[in-house]
Structure 1
Amino acid sequence: MELKLNRPICFFDLETTGTNVVKDRIVEISILKIYPNGERESRTWLVNPEMKIPAESAEIHGITDEKVNDSPTFKELAHRVHDMIKDSDLAGYNSNKFDIPLLAEEFLRSDIDFEMQKRVAVDVQNIFHRMEQRTLSAAYKFYCGKSLENAHSAEADVTATYEVLKSQLDKYEELENDMNWLSEFSNRQKVADFAGFIAFDENNKEKFTFGKYKGQLVDDVLDRDPGYFGWILNSDFPLYTKKILTNIKLRRMSK
């Protein structure tokens, strides 16, 4: 089944130095852009992370320090990447939990203010897990009847993710071929920041999802413990989380 699109959607995948959203960096990014008329555009870039690629990460994706030594940094690529995705919804495999938060961090480090307010994100892994509970390779085999060659190559993974979503729409009648609906279905909770440290409650108010104030409203915590704001800003939280928390504090001050 082909996707019903009101605007372009970019399937993307990152290979990285590790899994820490704050400290790790992108070493490869691949984007497959699907337009409403069915046309496709794809780009893949190797990225110099400006840090050593750990051996355990290189063993997974095959990208070594030598391979990216002469590649551009993300800051040098940032405007080209942003130009490709700025008018599009986003989709990926485990993208809500990892790829989008890490991409947002890289954009902010490159002085590009990346936002999600005017777009939706479809996480194909979450659809798969709600339906079948498997990995991407198993999903590709299960839905498409194919073996995933070159797994953990960004380009192979992003193409497989696109094909899996189309096959999911064919298989499950209850899934709607609508990006807004799929975005809601594939998001396990509505978060204010990409990394999920601040989420919205049933009344659409921001609450903390971690630590000693887990489940408590951000506004209430800032009233009772104003020093908590400074602690987060000075700790190893994602830049986007700090930005959202600062926006909440400024909103309170304006009132």
Structure 2
Amino acid sequence: MSNWHLGRLAGFDLETTGVDVETDRIVTACVVQCGADQPTVSATWLADPGIDIPDDAAKVHGITTEQARAEGRPAPEVVEQITAALAEVMLAGTPVVVMNAAFDLTMLDREARRHGVQPFADIAGADLRVIDPRVLDKRVSRRRGPRTLTDLCKHYGVKLDGAHSADADALAACRVAWRIAQQYAEVGNGLLDELHDQQIDWAREQGESLAAHFRRTPGKESWADGVRTEWPLIPHQAGGDDQ
């Protein structure tokens, strides 16, 4: 549909035990549906990830190992429910808005495989339509500096209450995507199908540019090898670490 941002949007965000998509685990999650002059509907989850939550991660999202064990639902149950919620909105034609999608969607994919749940991308198939505010912002704005969700909210005038809680971040990502679409016709006026495909190309170009930057920066040359260019998720490698 044209002017995709004027319809319903589904924001998705995870808070996790760390930043390694292959080995870390989901702690909290949110899928929020908003926009189109309809009420905002939010579903949130707290999981017992089955492993200890490092202190550094707990300081970011506020969930300790003890709290997750006492109050969280079993990880397989949470992963299945998140996957089902995302599949439902996706199959209804609602774009899923994910800040730095390659992290959250890859994390969910690996958790699904770890717990015997059909991966979200496999269910969505050709209906997979993702909007990534980070990819969009890098495309339309050449400014320097960091591009975290907090940075994007400041730049586009979006209020962010409770940063690093999954529900606040998921809703803020939708609002940032809406602001970008309102300000830049390249983003807002395109067909959703085409925009999804364009983001695949843009994310690859952005990753290649970052890797090139690392290669020519003294002391960071080795970082280039760790830059991934796949979007909206990193394909699973058979035989990888599913433990």
Gaps of 5+ in 1: 198-231, 240-255
Structure with the larger RCO, 1 or 2 (CA within 8 Å, 6+ apart): 2
CA contact (8 A) 1:17 1:24 kept: yes
Q: Which has the larger radius of gyration?
A: 1
Structure 2 residue aligned with 1:82? 83
CA offsets 1:44-80 (integer angstroms, 9 cap, x no match): 1111101000111111111111221121122122332
Structure 2 residue aligned with 1:67? 67
Cα deviation, residue 192, structure 1: 8.9
Instruction: Determine helix, strand or coil for the equivalent of 2:97.
Output: strand
Cα deviation, residue 24, structure 1: 0.3
Q: Distance in 2 between matches of 1:165 and 1:121?
A: 11
CA contact (8 A) 2:130 2:232 kept: no
Task: Name the structure where helix makes up a greater proportion of residues.
Answer: 2
CA RMSD, 1 decimal: 2.8
Cα deviation, residue 191, structure 1: 4.8
Structure 2 residue aligned with 1:162? 174
Cα deviation, residue 142, structure 1: 1.6
Change (3 A) 1:82 1:56: same
Cα deviation, residue 194, structure 1: 2.7
Amino acid at match of 1:3: H
Cα deviation, residue 175, structure 1: 1.6
CA contact (8 A) 1:93 1:136 kept: yes
CA offsets 1:99-120 (integer angstroms, 9 cap, x no match): 0011111122222222142221
Change (3 A) 1:62 1:192: closer
Instruction: Choose 122-131 or 37-46, whichever is displaced more.
Output: 37-46
Provide the TM-score with structure 2 as the length reference. Answer: 0.72
CA contact (8 A) 1:10 1:31 kept: yes
Structure 2 residue aligned with 1:185? 198
Q: Distance in 1 between matches of 2:4 and 2:232?
A: 31
Length, aligned pairs only: 200
Q: Distance in 2 between matches of 1:191 and 1:65?
A: 32
Q: Distance in 2 between matches of 1:193 and 1:164?
A: 18
CA contact (8 A) 2:17 2:54 kept: yes
CA offsets 1:79-108 (integer angstroms, 9 cap, x no match): 32233221314221001x200011111122
CA contact (8 A) 2:99 2:133 kept: yes
Q: Where do residues 32-71 of structure 1 align in structure 2 (5 Å cutoff)?
A: 32-34=32-34, 38-70=38-70, 71=72
Q: Where do residues 1-255 of structure 1 align in structure 2 (5 Å cutoff)?
A: 3-5=5-7, 9-34=9-34, 38-70=38-70, 71-87=72-88, 88=90, 89-95=95-101, 97-114=102-119, 115=122, 116-117=124-125, 118-132=127-141, 134-146=147-159, 148-177=160-189, 178-187=191-200, 188-189=203-204, 191=230, 194-195=233-234, 233-236=238-241
Change (3 A) 1:107 1:9: farther
Identity of aligned residues (%): 27
CA contact (8 A) 1:176 1:182 kept: no
